[in-house]
Amino acid sequence: MKINLWFILLSSSLGFASQWEIDSSHASAHFKIRHMTVSNVSGEITGMTGSFKIDDKDNGKMSLEGTLDMNTLNTSNTKRDEHLKANDFFDVKKFPKALFKTKTITSVGGDKVTLIGELTMKGVTKEIAIAGELTPSIKDPFGKVRRGLSGTLKIDRKDFGIVWNKVLDNGGLALGDTVDVSLEIELTETEKNKKG
């Protein structure tokens, strides 16, 4: 489920398109949801893969596509994780992946952008907005060019058919509907194409 689009990887009067991939070992989606009306339960999904095309002169040509392996969901409680992976929630046997694909990426000043796209989860596709930030590129000790993408969003789980709940004695619900999600992603550059 990766920002000032005008900061340039290389200073030049010519444009450069660059292709990046998500470093799965340094990428995760963290989430939290209200529990029993009194606290939050949090967890993460670490099985993230995908690619990010960056054009230093034309943000309209930028695009991001990524997937999450829902089998990697972890809340540090085995019994709860089993329930979340079952039919009441994500039904990972039938829907093992969640997919996000951008429709537009818009600069909002500084290093920040808004990524508008479609999230497909549990067989349902909905448009969502991610408030993101992309760091400048660096070269790591092994010669790879990297940059970081962070993002935050809110999801209504009912939009994706995840409606399980229980009524408490006080009339409240065991689980809230809004899920807060934060993304931390490292990207590695795979290709750069000079435009004439």
- Give bridge partners of residue 132 from the DSSP assignment: 113, 151
pLDDT for 93-147, tens place per residue? 999 999 999 999 887 766 888 999 999 999 999 999 999 998 888 898 988 899 8
pLDDT for 40-63, tens place per residue? 899 999 999 999 887 756 666 778
pTM value is: 0.82
pLDDT for 137-148, tens place per residue? 889 898 889 989
Number of CB atoms found within 10 A of residue 12's CB: 11
> What is each CA distance from 27 to 13, 79, 166, in whole angstroms?
33, 25, 33
- The CATH homologous superfamily to which domain 19-194 belongs is Lipid/polyisoprenoid-binding, YceI-like (2.40.128.110)
Task: Kindly tell me the burial class for residue 44, based on how many C-beta atoms sit within 10 Å of its own C-beta (0-12, 13-18, 19 or more).
Answer: middle
